[in-house]
């Protein structure tokens, strides 16, 4: 099967700094992929390149077989890329359900006259969107807090709500930027189960950046390793843990497997 996301020798420079250098990678259509590496390796930059926040200086990025150069973030989201953020970025003046509805309107917006006239079609459409949003929330057991303000949720719930909000855009590829950051071991186990369930249920690809090696090794089918902006390894969790370059640059002896 052809990959959903493909980087072909992608380089980006900020002035004299080369943040990502000739990185190639591919993510399959329903793959659980991981992106690991030490701080400053360029992981979040890869996310920002994928979502159109940055444009590559050299190389090509393709999404679903189409080159994605020149498209703005919201256009790529419409095409099927959704993401969460390293530092939670929920809409703080919207309630839980409205955070999800806001993301849903990527495929369903009302014209300005409909919004002003508020006729039957408008109200029915609003109800449909609300119902879908609640269904999605109930999968993640967040429907009980539907009317709370998003920022009043617990930290773990905010992280989950961010994933729900990303899913509400009906993505083909979900990017998770350090989803387990700040979670306790129980929450991490729950998160791993959740991510796997998302992939199985929605049949989408997931690419995640994460520092918790236990989670990454348990969850990911394929792992890409970055160091100083270049890709130093790729493979299954077992292959990566045996790779001496990865052990030296990032993993250390703790997670290493003997060759």
Q: Taking Cα atoms as reference points, which of 234, 223, 229, 247 lies closest to residue 23? A: 229
Determine contact, residues 140/167, Cβ cutoff 8 Å.
Answer: no
Give 101 or 188: the residue with its C-beta nearer to other proteins.
Answer: 101
State in angstroms the smallest separation of the CB of 169 from other proteins. Answer: 5
CB of 252 to other proteins, least distance (A): 33
Output 38 or 156, the one with its CB closest to other proteins.
Answer: 156
- Cβ(99)–Cβ(165) under 8 Å? yes
- CA–CA dist 12, 42 (Å, integer): 10
| Of the candidate residues 32, 166, 183, 195, the single one contacting other proteins (CB under 8 A) | 166
User: Does 154 contact other proteins by CB under 8 A?
Assistant: no
Does residue 202 belong to the site contacting other proteins (CB under 8 A)?
A: no
> What is the layout of strands, in order, in the sheet containing 230-235?
81-83, 173-177, 205-209, 32-36, 222-227, 230-235
Asked whether position 151 contacts other proteins by CB under 8 A, the answer is: yes
Task: State the DSSP code for 149.
Answer: B
Q: Which is nearer to other proteins, 90 or 213 (CB)?
A: 90
Residue 116 makes contact with other proteins by CB under 8 A: yes
Distance (Å) of CA 161 to CA 4, 94, 97, 211, 216: 25, 12, 9, 21, 21
Q: Which residues of 204-222 are buried (b: 16+ CB within 10 A; e: fewer)?
A: bbbbbbbebbebbbebbeb
Residues 43-82, mask of contacts with other proteins (x by CB under 8 A):
--------x-x------------------xxx--xx---x
Bridge partner list, 207: 33, 175
Of 24-32, 55-63, 147-155, 196-204, which segment contacts other proteins by CB under 8 A? 147-155
Q: Per-residue x/- mask for other proteins, residues 81 to 110, rule CB under 8 A?
A: -xx-x---xxxxxxx--x--xxx-xxxxxx
Task: Name which of 147 and 259 has its Cβ closer to other proteins.
Answer: 147
Residue 140 binds to other proteins (criterion: CB under 8 A)? no
Comparing CB distances to other proteins, the nearer of 92 and 141 is: 92
d(CA 171, CA 166): 8
Number of residues that bind other proteins (CB under 8 A): 44
Helices 155-167 & 185-202, crossing angle to 10 degrees? 10
E strands along 3-53, which residues?
5-14, 17-27, 32-36
Task: Kindly list the residues in this chain that would bind other proteins in the complex (CB under 8 A).
Answer: 51, 53, 72-74, 77-78, 82-83, 85, 89-95, 98, 101-103, 105-110, 112, 114-116, 118, 122-123, 126, 147-149, 151-152, 165-166, 168-169
């Amino acid at each position: 099967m052809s990959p959903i996301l493909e980087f072909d020798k992608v380089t980006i420079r900020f002035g004299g700094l080369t943040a990502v250098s000739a990185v190639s990678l591919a993510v399959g259509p329903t793959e659980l992929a991981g992106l690991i590496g030490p701080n400053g390796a360029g992981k979040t930059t890869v996310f920002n390149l994928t979502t159109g926040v940055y444009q590559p200086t050299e190389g090509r990025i393709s999404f679903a077989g189409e080159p994605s150069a020149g498209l703005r973030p919201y256009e790529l989201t419409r095409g099927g890329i959704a993401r969460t953020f390293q530092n939670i970025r929920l809409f703080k003046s919207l309630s839980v359900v409205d955070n999800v509805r806001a993301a849903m309107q990527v495929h369903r917006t009302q014209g300005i006259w409909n919004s002003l006239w508020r006729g039957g079609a408008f109200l029915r459409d609003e109800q449909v969107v609300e119902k879908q949003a609640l269904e999605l929330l109930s999968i993640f057991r967040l429907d009980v807090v539907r009317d709370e303000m998003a920022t009043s949720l617990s930290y773990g719930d905010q992280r989950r709500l961010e994933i729900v909000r990303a899913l509400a855009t009906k993505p083909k590829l979900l990017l998770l930027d350090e989803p387990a950051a700040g979670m306790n071991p129980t929450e991490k186990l729950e998160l791993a189960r959740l991510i796997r369930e998302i992939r199985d249920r929605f049949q989408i690809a997931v690419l995640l950046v994460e520092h918790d090696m236990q989670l990454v090794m348990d969850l990911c089918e394929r792992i890409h390793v970055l160091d100083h902006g270049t890709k130093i390894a790729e493979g299954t969790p077992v292959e990566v843990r045996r790779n001496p370059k990865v052990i030296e640059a990032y993993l250390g002896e703790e997670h290493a497997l003997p060759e």
